[in-house]
Amino acid sequence: MTQISNTPISDITLGQTAIYSKTCTLEDIQLFAKVSGDVNPVHLDDEFAKTTPFGAVIAHGMYTGALVSAALAIELPGPGTIYMGQELKFKAPVFIGDTITVNLSVSHIREEKAIVTLDCTCTNQDGKVVAAGTATVMAPKKPMTVTAPELPTVTLS
């Protein structure tokens, strides 16, 4: 079982960084479509996607946003973090097989309110920026280490 720990507000420093990576799969895109209801064919239909400027199926933009959320929840500040807001600009498409790395960097701290702003840059395996922006979170006040819950098995048909 995987243990994940947080960084409480008292231990967060300006310029502190963290990284989170995940490879995008067709199943990820299909599950995101199912959960969100976004059935734009550019995400789900190979033949349609070939007619677009991208030439292939691409992940939903907010899939990348969800990876930022995961980075905040797992890496920095970590468990107990409350996501308050996000400004994110999509710069390039994410394709099946791309490994997206979310780089977080603390840019502002309001310790009295436990509010932290982090710069977020998402790059693919070639170093190309696919999304960039800032996230605002309420950081946890106490340190903790928890066991990451096991994800359910999901079958698509």
pLDDT, tens digit, 9 for 90 and up, residues 11-43? 999 999 999 999 999 999 999 999 999 999 999
Q: What is the pLDDT of residues 30-87, one digit of tens each?
A: 999 999 999 999 999 999 999 999 999 999 999 999 999 999 999 999 999 999 999 9
Which residues, in sequence order, are CB contacts of 66 under 8 Å at separation 6+? 32
Is residue 92 within 8 Å of 82, Cβ to Cβ? Answer: no
Q: Is the peptide bond before 77 cis (omega within 30 degrees of 0)?
A: yes
Phi first, then psi: give them for residue 114, nearest 5 degrees. 60, 35
Q: Give the pLDDT band (50/70/90) at residue 1.
A: confident
pLDDT reported for residue 154: 92
DSSP string, the chain: --EEE---GGG--TT-EEEEEEE--HHHHHHHHHHH----HHHH-HHHHHTSTT-S-B--HHHHHHHHHHHHHHTSS-TT-EEEEEEEEE-S--BTTPEEEEEEEEEEEEGGGTEEEEEEEEE-TTS-EEEEEEEEEEPPSS--EEEPPPPPP----
Tokens of 34: 């199912």
Which residue would you say has higher pLDDT here, 130 or 157? 130
Cα 25 to chain centroid, rounded: 15
Average pLDDT, the chain: 97
Please tell me the predicted confidence (pLDDT) of residue 148.
96
Question: What integer pLDDT is reported at residue 36 of this predicted model?
Answer: 97
**pLDDT value at residue 98:** 99
Question: What is the rounded average pLDDT of the residues 140-152?
Answer: 96
Share of the chain above pLDDT 70, in %: 100
